[in-house]
Amino acid sequence: GQSLEQPSEVTAVEGAIVQINCTYQTSGFYGLSWYQQHDGGAPTFLSYNALDGLEETGRFSSFLSRSDSYGYLLLQELQMKDSASYFCAVDSGYALNFGKGTSLLVTP
Amino acid sequence: DAGVTQSPTHLIKTRGQHVTLRCSPISGHKSVSWYQQVLGQGPQFIFQYYEKEERGRGNFPDRFSARQFPNYSSELNVNALLLGDSALYLCASSLSERDGYTFGSGTRLTVV
């Protein structure tokens, strides 16, 4: 089976840096993805890690340690528009298995 | 370029009825996946189709079925609707997992 753990809520100040952690247990692993979802909107793809290490895309970075079954999403220079839900998802080859999501609130 | 389009956007059905949801992937994407998202939870995988063949199926009852057409569009069918089927149904297409999935805006299904 699959299980993913991520914090349910995180609050941070505009301009700050925030890290959202994700631990997973899975029977099949091809990679770890991160998606952002605003209320009422569709999930949008942020990043994908298949190998250990850090991937950087603009203000967002994602890290993976396969030996620790652990990853994180790092958001820098937070903006108000970053307030949203963030999901980690394990790629099992043909399916994404999502965590329950982390609700990020960015305050002024 | 058009993204992933889904129809209808909202739907209200009665318990026991049947529903068909439709999805058109991004042009050039041959893979279509369906997900169910209930409020406060992450999307749950239902099906993936690639080149009209089912590649995978999630932990959903046989009341859920899907198919993919030669133009790569897809339909999700749900029979004998239950109140618990009320959710946002999301369709996604992709070139590859590394490129990420592009999700449509979803169909909000309410079963009363």
Per-residue pLDDT at B2 exceeds 90? no
Contact: B56, A41; criterion CB under 8 Å? no
pLDDT tens digits along A46-85: 999 999 999 998 999 999 999 999 999 999 999 999 999 9
Torsion angles phi and psi, residue A46, rounded to 5: -110, -50
CB contact under 8 A, A43 and B48: no
Higher pLDDT, B91 or A28: B91
> Is the pLDDT score of A30 beyond 70?
yes
Question: What Å distances lie between residue A101 and A53, B100, B109, CA to CA?
Answer: 22, 17, 21
Contact flag A48-B100 (C-beta cutoff 8 Å): yes
Cβ B23 vs Cβ B76: under 8 Å: yes
Q: Is B43 on the interface with A (CB under 8 A)?
A: yes
The tens digit of pLDDT for each residue in B61-76 reads: 999 999 999 999 999 9
Q: Which of A106, A97, A103 is closest to A32 using CA atoms? A: A97
What span, in angstroms and rounded, lies between the C-alpha atoms of B104 and A43? 8
In this structure, how many other beta carbons lie within 10 angstroms of the beta carbon of residue B112? 10
B25 contact A CB<8A: no
B60 pLDDT higher than 70: yes
- Give the separation between CA B43 and CA B21, rounded to whole angstroms: 16
Query: How many Cβ atoms are within 10 Å of A27's Cβ, its own excluded?
Result: 8
Q: What is the pLDDT of residue B95?
A: 84
Whether B1 has a pLDDT exceeding 70, the answer reads: no
Tens digits of residue pLDDT in B84-106: 999 999 999 998 767 889 999 99
